[in-house]
């Protein structure tokens, strides 16, 4: 039986390769370069930084976020007084609720922003997810600190939200990998999001599997 595009993309992830995810043209109109966090190296972070160019984020699912004691940042801000409460938004301009939680660094990092430091944070975070729920939160606070330089995004179910966070986690689970993905928006030299035409040309030139919202 012929494999679907998603199955082929999942196989690429398992091999430690990059995949590109395009969201809906009616949503962000953006492409993200993604890879599983277990394969994070300084070379991987460099590629995301230089060839994607957006914000490098670490994505996990709601179940693991809850076990780690993490919540959506906008909800925490709403509970604070003053400027924090006023800055918090429930919906983005493209009508989704924000996926952001806190920014973290591994306690083994120095500044946290170098390619090596961010790779270390991502890889260490992925390892945390395999721990038993009872000790997961304790180990999380022991091994990481915040504020840091790698933002955590909490993916919802695809039925609730159809963003790059959700697509990347769905792909990780299809590959049989832990819900820990590194994602980064792809920007053009103009500073705007790469057009889908530019992204498809890049994917073909670099031999990177590309999947779209309609494939999920």
* Answer CATH for 5-215 from 3.40.190.80, 3.30.930.10, 3.20.20.70, 3.90.870.10: 3.90.870.10
- Mean pLDDT (the chain) is 94
| pLDDT per residue rounded down to tens, the chain (216 residues) | 788 999 999 999 999 999 999 987 767 688 999 999 999 999 999 999 999 999 999 999 999 999 999 999 999 999 998 999 999 999 888 888 899 999 999 999 999 999 999 999 999 999 999 999 999 999 999 999 999 999 999 999 888 888 899 999 999 999 999 999 999 999 999 999 999 999 999 999 999 999 998 888
H-helix segments, 18-132: 42-47, 62-68, 73-78, 83-87, 115-128
**Residue 185 is among the residues annotated as catalytic for this protein:** yes
Q: Catalytic residue among 94, 108, 110, 157, which? A: 94
**Residue 23 is among the residues annotated as catalytic for this protein:** no
The domains of the chain are located at 5-215
Q: Catalytic residue among 11, 51, 149, 215, which? A: 149
The residue among 61, 9, 54, 53 whose CA lies nearest residue 35 is 9
For the chain, first and last CA: distance in Å?
19
In this structure, are residues 152 and 198 in contact, taking their beta carbons and an 8 Å threshold? no
**Residue 212 is among the residues annotated as catalytic for this protein:** no
pTM over 0.85: yes
What is the spatial distance between Cα 75 and Cα 89, in angstroms, rounded to a whole number?
9
Strand-pairing partners, residue 151, are 103
Q: Catalytic residue among 30, 61, 67, 185, which? A: 185
**Residue 94 is among the residues annotated as catalytic for this protein:** yes
Q: Catalytic residue among 28, 105, 166, 202, which? A: 105
Count of C-beta atoms within a 10 Å radius of residue 90: 10
Tell me the CA distances in angstroms from 66 to 72, 86, 155, 175, 196, one per residue in order: 10, 25, 12, 22, 35
Q: Catalytic residue among 30, 36, 57, 109, which? A: 57
């Amino acid at each position: 039986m012929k494999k679907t595009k998603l199955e082929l993309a999942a196989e690429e992830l398992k091999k430690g390769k990059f995949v590109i995810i395009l969201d809906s043209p009616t949503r962000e109109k953006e492409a993200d370069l993604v890879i599983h966090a277990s394969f994070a190296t300084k070379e991987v972070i460099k590629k995301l930084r230089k060839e994607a160019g957006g914000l490098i984020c670490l994505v996990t699912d709601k179940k693991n976020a809850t076990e780690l004691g993490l919540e959506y940042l906008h909800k925490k801000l709403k509970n604070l007084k003053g400027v924090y409460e006023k800055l918090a938004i429930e919906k983005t301009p493209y009508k989704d609720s924000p996926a952001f939680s806190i920014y973290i660094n591994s306690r083994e990092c120095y500044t946290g922003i170098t390619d090596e430091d961010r790779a270390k944070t991502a890889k260490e975070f992925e390892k945390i997810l395999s721990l038993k729920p009872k000790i997961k939160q304790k180990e999380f606070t022991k091994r990481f600190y915040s504020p840091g330089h790698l933002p955590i995004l909490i993916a919802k179910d695809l039925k609730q939200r159809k963003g790059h966070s959700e697509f990347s986690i769905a792909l990780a689970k299809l590959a049989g990998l832990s819900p820990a993905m590194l994602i980064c928006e792809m920007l053009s030299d103009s500073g705007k999001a790469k057009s889908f035409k530019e992204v498809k040309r890049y994917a073909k030139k670099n031999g990177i599997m590309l999947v779209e919202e309609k494939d999920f």
